[in-house]
C-alpha cells in the first residue's frame, strides 16, 4: 500500500522502544509492517521487541512477524504497546515463532505479552508457536501479568509441545466491539507433571504460583478452547491454570461485563475441565462449559463446592471415564449449591455424573447423567453417606446400570425431582440402597425394562410426594423396608407386561398406593406386611390384582378401602400360607365385626 512503513530484518532482530514517553511509528494512509527473521538462532536475539511504543495505521493494517526458528528468545515480545489500525476494515496481525525451552528460556513464550497494551482494529489476530520438543519446551503464547484490551474481532491462538497458552500472576483481558476467540493447543505428548516454568495443560499457569485471569466483556461473546488431546504421556488436563491440589477458588478465570461465553476443554487421559477454575458471578450473559476426555473425567468439580458459577450449562463427556465428577472432599463444605446451573454428564461406558462426599446437600439446579452402554449408572451418589436433594432436578439414564443410584440414605425436599431410566435387562431406574425420606411436593420416578422402576432397600417416609415407577417385566415400585406416607402422597407402580406394579416388603402407614400390571400382579404384599390407615389399589389385566404372600395385618380402614381387581385373573390372591388379620384402627386389637375382604374379576376368580 502507498505510504506504508516497513521495517525488516532478514538475519536478526528489531527493537522498537520508547523512553519516558511512548515512541511512535505512524502511517497516515498506509500500513505498518514489522518483520524479523533470525534463521540461525543468534543467541540472545529476540525476533521483534516492542516496548513502550505505538504502532499507528489508522487508515490501514498492522503486521508484526517475528521468527527465531532455532533461537532461545521470543519471536515477538510486546510490553506496553498500542496497536491502532483502521477500525472499519483494518487488521492487526501478530505472528510469533520460536524454539526456546524452559532450560534456557528467559522470555517464557514465543509470543510474550506483558504490561499495559491496547489493540484496536476491525480484526485482530495474535498467534504464537513454540517448536521446541520435549519436557522443557516453552509456551506458544504467554501473558506475564498486566492488562491488555482488544477492540475489534479478536482471535488469539497459542501452540506448544506441552503448553499452548500460559498465564503468569494477575492478568486482565478486555474485549469490545467484536467477538473473541482464544485457543491453546498442545502439539506433543507433553509432560505428566508441571515442569520448570509451566503447569501442564493446553492453557496453563506458572508452576511457580497460581494465576488469576480477569476477562471483561463489553457486549462481546467469547469462545475459549483448551486442547491437550495430543498429550498422551499421562493425565494432562486441558486447563492447568492453578495447582490441581489447591482447595482455593480465588484463582483462575473470572468473567465480568456483558456477553456470552463458551468454554471447551479436550483431554486424552486427564480431567478436561476443572469447573472450579471459572467464576461468572458478575457476568451478564450465557455461560457454557464443556469438557471431553477419552479415559479421564470430562468436567470435574471438587473440594469447596459452593461453586462460583451461576446459570451455566456444564457438560462433561468421557469415553471410559466419568462424564462429570463432583467431590466435596473432607476439607470442604458438604453443600453443592448448583446456583441454577445445569450439569450434564455423558459417558460411553462408565458413569454419567458421580457425586461423592459425606452428608452432601445438592440445591438449586439440575443434574443429568447418561451412560450409553455398559453397567455404569447415569447418576451416582456414592460414599455410603447421607444425601439431600433440595429444589434440584436429578435425571439419570443408563443402558445396563441404574439410571440414578444412591449409595446411602437419601432425602428429597422442596419440589425436587428425581427421574431415572434403565434400558437394559435387569437394570433399575432409581435405586436407593439406604433409607428414603421425601417432603415438600417432590417427585421421584423410575423407568426400567426388566428391572425395578424404583427400588428402595431401606425404610421410606413420604409427605406430599409423588413416587412412581414403570417396568415391563420387573417391579414398578419395589420398597423392601417400611413405608410411611400421608394423604397428599401417591405411590404408583405400573408393569406393562408380566411384572409387578408395586411390591411392599414390610409395613405401610398412610397414603394411597396403586399398582397395575398387564399380565402380572398389580400390588404385592410380602410376608409380615402391616398396613395401617392406607388405601390400597391393585389391578391387573390377566394377573392378580392384589397378591398376599404371607402373614399380613390390615387395620379396618384399610380393609374396607381395599380394591383388588383383575380382568381374567384373580382379584385378590391369597397364596399358600397367606394369613390376613384385620385389627381396629390405631390398635392391634382384632375387629369385633369380621371384615370382608373382596376382590373382583371379570372372567377369573374374585378371591382365591
Tens of pLDDT, residues 63-104 = 999 999 887 789 999 999 999 999 999 999 999 999 877 655
Mean pLDDT of 198-227: 87
Mean pLDDT of 27-42: 88
pLDDT interval class at 34 (50, 70, 90): very high
Say which residue the cell 398412610 belongs to.
510
**323 φ, ψ (degrees, to nearest 5):** -65, -60
- Is beta strand 32-37 parallel, antiparallel or unpaired with respect to 62-68? parallel
Say which residue the cell 528489531 belongs to.
14
Give the H/E segment covering residue 16: strand 14-17
Rounded to whole angstroms, the Cα distance separating 97 from 165 reads: 13
Mean pLDDT of 308-329: 91
Rounded to whole angstroms, the Cα distance separating 247 from 238 reads: 19
Rounded to whole angstroms, what are the CA distances from 530 to 506, 525, 563, 585? 7, 9, 17, 12
pLDDT at 564 over 90: yes
Question: Are residues 77 and 46 in contact, defined by beta-carbon separation less than 8 angstroms?
Answer: yes
pLDDT in tens, 451-481: 999 999 999 999 999 999 999 999 999 999 9
Question: Are residues 374 and 400 in contact, defined by beta-carbon separation less than 8 angstroms?
Answer: yes
Give the H/E segment covering residue 557: helix 556-561
Nearest to 121 by CA among 155, 81, 156, 150: 150
Q: Which residue has the higher pLDDT, 136 or 461?
A: 461
Q: Is 84 helix (H, G, I), strand (E, B) or coil?
A: strand
Rounded to whole angstroms, the Cα distance separating 168 from 142 reads: 8
Mean pLDDT of 306-310: 75
Q: What local confidence, expressed as pLDDT, does residue 245 receive?
A: 45
Question: Are residues 491 and 477 in contact, defined by beta-carbon separation less than 8 angstroms?
Answer: yes
pLDDT interval class at 244 (50, 70, 90): very low
Question: Are residues 366 and 344 in contact, defined by beta-carbon separation less than 8 angstroms?
Answer: no
- Kindly report the length of the chain: 608
Q: What local confidence, expressed as pLDDT, does residue 592 receive?
A: 60
Rounded to whole angstroms, the Cα distance separating 22 from 409 reads: 67
pLDDT at 209 over 70: no
- List the grid coordinates of 87: 477500525
Alpha carbon distance, N-terminus to C-terminus of the chain = 100
Q: Per residue in 389-428, is it b (16+ CB within 10 Å) or e — as a string? A: bbbbbbbbbbbbbbbbbbbbbbbbbeebbbbbbbbbeebb
- List the grid coordinates of 135: 519436557
Q: Which residue has the higher pLDDT, 241 or 505?
A: 505
pLDDT interval class at 301 (50, 70, 90): confident
Nearest to 601 by CA among 574, 572, 573, 566: 566
Q: What local confidence, expressed as pLDDT, does residue 105 receive?
A: 64
511: number of Cβ within 10 Å: 22
Distance of CA 94 to the CA centre of its chain: 35
pLDDT in tens, 421-435: 999 999 999 999 999
Q: What local confidence, expressed as pLDDT, does residue 197 receive?
A: 55
Q: Which residue has the higher pLDDT, 32 or 134?
A: 32
Strands (E), 206-352: 212-218, 222-227, 239-240, 252-258, 261-267, 273-274, 278-284, 287-293, 299-302, 312-318, 324-327, 335-347
Mean pLDDT of 521-526: 94
Mean pLDDT of 583-601: 77
Q: What percent of the chain has pLDDT over 90?
A: 68
Mean pLDDT of 105-109: 76
Q: What local confidence, expressed as pLDDT, does residue 199 receive?
A: 67
Which ranges of 453-545 would DSSP assign to H, the alpha helix? none
Specify the range with the lowest mean pLDDT, choosing from 54-63, 206-215, 290-299, 497-506: 206-215
Average pLDDT, the chain: 90
pLDDT at 528 over 90: no
Mean pLDDT of 293-320: 86
pLDDT at 600 over 60: yes
Rounded to whole angstroms, what are the CA distances from 208 to 169, 212, 240? 9, 13, 13
Distance of CA 180 to the CA centre of its chain: 24
pLDDT in tens, 109-133: 899 999 999 999 999 999 999 998 8
As separate numbers, helices (DSSP H) first and strands (DSSP E) second, the chain gives 1, 52
Question: Are residues 504 and 482 in contact, defined by beta-carbon separation less than 8 angstroms?
Answer: no
Specify the range with the lowest mean pLDDT, choosing from 120-134, 149-163, 206-220, 553-567: 206-220
Rounded to whole angstroms, what are the CA distances from 242 to 130, 148, 247, 270, 278? 22, 21, 10, 15, 11
Mean pLDDT of 187-201: 65
Q: What local confidence, expressed as pLDDT, does residue 224 receive?
A: 98
Q: Return the sign of the alpha-carbon dihedral for residues 86, 87, 89, 92.
A: positive
- DSSP per residue, 374-425: SS--SEEEEEEEEEEEES-EEEEEESSS-SEEEEEEEEEETT-EEEEEE-ST
Q: What local confidence, expressed as pLDDT, does residue 431 receive?
A: 96
- DSSP per residue, 129-143: EE---STTB-EEEEE
Q: What local confidence, expressed as pLDDT, does residue 330 receive?
A: 57
Q: Is 605 helix (H, G, I), strand (E, B) or coil?
A: coil
Q: What local confidence, expressed as pLDDT, does residue 386 receive?
A: 85
Amino acid at each position: 500500500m502507498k505510504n506504508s512503513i516497513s521495517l525488516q530484518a532478514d538475519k536478526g532482530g528489531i527493537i522498537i522502544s520508547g523512553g519516558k514517553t511512548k515512541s511512535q511509528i505512524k502511517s497516515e494512509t498506509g500500513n505498518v509492517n514489522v518483520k524479523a527473521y533470525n534463521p540461525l538462532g543468534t543467541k540472545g536475539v529476540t525476533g521483534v521487541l516492542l516496548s513502550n511504543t505505538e504502532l499507528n495505521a489508522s487508515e490501514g493494517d498492522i503486521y508484526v512477524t517475528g521468527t527465531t526458528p532455532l533461537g532461545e528468545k521470543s519471536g515477538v515480545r510486546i510490553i506496553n504497546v498500542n496497536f491502532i489500525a483502521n477500525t472499519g476494515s483494518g487488521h492487526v496481525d501478530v505472528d510469533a515463532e520460536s524454539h526456546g525451552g524452559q532450560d534456557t528460556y528467559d522470555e517464557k513464550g514465543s509470543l510474550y505479552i506483558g504490561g499495559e497494551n491496547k489493540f484496536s482494529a476491525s480484526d485482530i489476530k495474535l498467534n504464537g508457536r513454540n517448536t521446541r520438543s520435549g519436557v522443557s519446551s516453552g509456551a506458544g503464547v504467554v501473558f506475564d501479568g498486566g492488562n491488555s484490551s482488544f477492540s475489534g474481532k479478536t482471535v488469539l491462538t497459542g501452540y506448544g509441545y506441552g503448553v499452548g497458552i500460559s498465564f503468569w500472576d494477575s492478568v486482565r483481558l478486555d474485549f469490545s466491539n467484536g467477538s473473541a476467540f482464544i485457543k491453546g493447543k498442545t502439539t506433543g505428548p507433553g509432560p505428566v507433571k508441571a515442569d520448570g516454568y509451566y503447569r501442564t495443560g493446553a492453557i496453563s499457569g506458572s508452576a511457580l504460583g497460581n494465576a488469576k485471569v480477569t476477562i471483561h466483556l463489553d457486549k462481546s461473546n467469547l469462545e475459549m478452547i483448551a486442547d491437550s488431546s495430543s498429550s498422551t504421556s499421562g493425565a494432562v488436563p486441558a486447563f492447568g491454570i492453578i495447582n490441581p491440589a489447591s482447595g482455593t477458588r480465588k484463582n483462575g478465570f473470572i468473567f465480568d461485563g456483558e456477553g456470552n461465553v463458551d468454554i471447551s476443554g479436550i483431554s486424552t487421559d486427564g480431567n478436561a475441565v476443572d469447573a472450579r477454575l471459572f467464576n461468572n458471578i458478575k457476568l451478564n450473559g450465557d455461560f457454557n462449559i464443556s469438557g471431553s476426555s477419552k479415559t479421564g473425567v470430562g468436567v470435574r468439580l471438587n473440594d469447596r463446592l459452593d461453586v462460583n458459577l451461576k446459570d451455566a450449562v456444564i457438560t462433561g463427556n468421557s469415553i471410559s471415564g466419568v462424564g462429570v465428577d463432583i467431590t466435596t472432599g473432607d476439607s470442604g463444605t458438604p453443600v453443592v449449591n448448583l446456583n441454577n446451573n445445569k450439569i450434564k454428564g455423558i459417558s460411553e461406558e462408565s458413569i454419567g455424573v458421580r457425586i461423592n462426599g459425606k452428608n452432601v446437600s445438592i440445591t438449586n439446579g439440575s443434574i443429568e447423567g447418561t451412560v450409553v452402554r455398559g453397567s455404569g449408572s447415569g447418576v451416582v451418589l456414592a460414599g455410603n453417606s447421607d444425601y439431600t436433594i433440595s429444589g434440584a432436578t436429578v435425571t439419570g439414564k443408563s443402558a445396563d446400570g441404574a439410571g440414578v443410584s444412591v449409595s446411602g440414605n437419601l432425602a428429597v425436599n422442596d419440589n425436587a425431582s428425581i427421574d431415572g431410566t434403565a434400558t437394559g435387562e435387569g437394570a433399575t431406574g432409581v435405586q436407593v440402597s439406604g433409607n428414603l425420606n421425601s417432603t415438600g411436593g417432590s417427585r421421584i420416578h423410575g423407568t426400567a425394562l426388566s428391572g425395578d422402576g424404583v427400588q428402595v432397600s431401606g425404610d421410606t417416609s413420604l409427605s406430599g410426594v409423588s413416587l412412581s415407577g414403570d417396568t415391563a417385566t420387573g417391579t414398578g415400585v419395589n420398597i423392601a423396608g417400611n413405608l410411611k406416607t400421608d394423604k397428599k402422597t401417591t405411590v404408583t407402580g405400573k408393569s406393562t407386561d408380566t411384572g409387578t406394579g408395586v411390591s411392599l416388603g414390610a409395613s405401610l402407614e398412610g397414603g394411597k398406593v396403586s399398582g397395575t400390571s398387564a399380565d402380572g400382579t398389580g400390588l404385592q404384599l410380602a410376608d409380615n406386611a402391616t398396613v395401617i390407615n392406607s388405601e390400597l389399589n391393585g389391578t391387573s389385566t390377566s394377573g392378580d390384582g392384589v397378591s398376599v404372600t404371607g402373614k399380613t395385618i390390615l387395620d379396618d380402614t384399610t380393609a374396607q378401602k381395599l380394591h383388588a381387581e383383575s380382568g381374567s385373573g384373580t382379584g385378590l390372591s391369597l397364596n399358600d400360607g397367606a394369613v390376613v388379620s384385620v385389627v381396629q384402627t390405631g390398635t392391634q386389637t382384632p375387629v369385633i365385626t369380621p371384615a370382608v375382604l373382596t376382590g373382583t374379576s371379570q372372567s377369573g376368580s374374585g378371591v382365591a
